[in-house]
Amino acid sequence: MPKYSYTCNDCKSEYEIWHGMTKEHTHCEVCEAPSVVRIPALLGEVKFNNFKNKAGDVVTRTIEESKQEVKEYKKNLNKELKK
């Protein structure tokens, strides 16, 4: 599932959530107001190759960073489900 960033026009909160591409997120996670706007995201971090790293190194690092994000998401999700 992709991660999306949103901002609320009412309470001015900014947050990120994971959901399917076809799901619409319409209410603020903080104040539940129906005035959220998706914040456009870059497709990836902009990195300049210093020619010391091979392309495979960059891919491996990106995969590891993504794994950490998913691990944190699962950990937070488990905490929420236990409440």
What would the pLDDT profile of 50-79 be if each residue is shown by its tens digit? Answer: 666 676 787 888 899 999 999 999 988 888
Q: What is the pLDDT of residue 42?
A: 63
Reduced to 3 states, what is the DSSP secondary structure of residue 60?
helix
**Domain end position, chosen among 11, 26, 41:** 41
Contacts of 78 (CB under 8 A, 6+ apart): none
Query: Number of structural domains, the chain?
Result: 2
Question: Residues 36, 54: one domain?
Answer: no
Q: What is the pLDDT of residue 44?
A: 61
Question: Residues 2, 37: one domain?
Answer: yes
Q: Identify the residue whose tokens are 């026009």.
A: 9
Question: Residues 62, 80: one domain?
Answer: yes
Question: Residues 37, 50: one domain?
Answer: no
The residue segments making up the domain with residue 9 are: 1-41
Question: Residues 53, 31: one domain?
Answer: no
Question: pLDDT category, 3, cuts 50, 70, 90?
Answer: confident
Contacts of 57 (CB under 8 A, 6+ apart): none
Distance CA 62, CA 66 (A): 6
pTM equals 0.49
- Check if the beta carbon of residue 18 is closer than 8 Å to that of residue 1: yes
Q: Compute the mean pLDDT over every residue in the chain, rounded to the nearest whole number.
A: 83
Q: For 4-44, what is each residue's pLDDT tens digit?
A: 899 999 998 888 888 888 888 989 988 989 989 998 876 66
Instruction: Please name which of 39, 37, 2, 34 lies closest in space to residue 17, comparing C-alpha atoms.
Output: 2
